[in-house]
Amino acid sequence: MNGPFDTNKINKAVVNLTDELDIKSGSNGEMDLYLLMRSYLNNSDVRKKINKVLSDNHCV
């Protein structure tokens, strides 16, 4: 995976995602897709932890 990824490009991608899925906001009290995507794409430790949670819960 290439990185670090540009924050502005990640934010634009989140906007595209929320628009496509008709999600009103990428950031609210329950979720922060901006932080999630920045952390996942730019921090290998965070990425490993997220992948483990997903794997442990049979999400992948």
pLDDT tens by residue, 1-38:
666 899 999 999 999 999 999 998 898 888 899 999 99
Output the pLDDT for position 60: 64
- Does this model's pTM top 0.75? yes
Q: Which residue reads 């949670």 in tokens?
A: 53
Sign of the dihedral through C-alpha 13, 11, 23, 40? positive
Judge contact between 18 and 26, C-beta under 8 A.
Answer: yes
- Cα–Cα dist 1/45, whole Å: 13
Domain boundaries, the chain: 7-56
Residue 32: phi, psi to the nearest 5? -140, 90
